[in-house]
Amino acid sequence: MSVELVERAVMAVLDAEGVEEAEISVAFLDDAGITRLNRTHLGHEGPTDVISFALEGPDGTPLGDVYVGAEQARRQAAELGISTEEEFVRLVVHGVLHVLGHDHPDGEERSGSPMYRLQERLVAELTRRS
């Protein structure tokens, strides 16, 4: 995934949420790296697709780190029959939405949640799907 597309994905989320100033970092990790973060910070075993850490600056500016499990994303894209680029965009958008305070339920209700609907609208815009 190009740096330009990562930046566009981050900016699309910030624009959609009316956030004018933020500091967001995005890193792509292999299975070993994302597994280590998953275990250390969330207490879960194995690789995952995305982990976000949200902070807030002293002036209320959103700060956050988004870690995308690149190998896991590639597997998910193959299972879903979509491009790896689309899945990378989805996970960056998902992670940034979490940094901005969005959350979603687990299970079947997830796909009907406001966060999921916003995420999918932004992914469609960024990947030019309709």
The answer to whether residue 130 is domain-embedded is: no
0.75 exceeded by pTM: yes
Average pLDDT over residues 104-114: 81
Residues whose CB is less than 8 angstroms from the CB of residue 71 and which lie 6 or more positions away in sequence, other chains included:
30, 31, 34, 47
Model confidence band, residue 129 (pLDDT cutoffs 50, 70, 90): low
User: How many structural domains does the chain have?
Assistant: 1
Q: What is the pLDDT of residues 52-87, one digit of tens each?
A: 999 988 898 999 999 999 999 999 999 999 999 999
* Structural domain boundaries enclosing 112: 3-125
Is residue 15 a contact partner of residue 117, using CB atoms and an 8 Å limit? no
The answer to whether residue 57 is domain-embedded is: yes
Q: What is the chain's mean pLDDT, rounded?
A: 94
What's the pLDDT score for residue 20?
Answer: 94
Q: How far apart are CA 90 and CA 7, in angstroms?
A: 13
Is residue 44 a contact partner of residue 38, using CB atoms and an 8 Å limit? yes
User: Which tokens sit at 28?
Assistant: 């792509």
What's the pLDDT score for residue 108?
Answer: 79
Is residue 22 a contact partner of residue 14, using CB atoms and an 8 Å limit? yes
What's the pLDDT score for residue 130?
Answer: 39
Q: What's the CATH code of the domain at 34?
A: 3.40.390.30
What single string gives the DSSP state of each residue in 26-88?
EEEE-HHHHHHHHHHHH---S--SEEEEEEE-TTS-EEEEEEEEHHHHHHHHHHHT--HHHHH
Model confidence band, residue 110 (pLDDT cutoffs 50, 70, 90): confident
The answer to whether residue 112 is domain-embedded is: yes
The answer to whether residue 63 is domain-embedded is: yes
The answer to whether residue 31 is domain-embedded is: yes
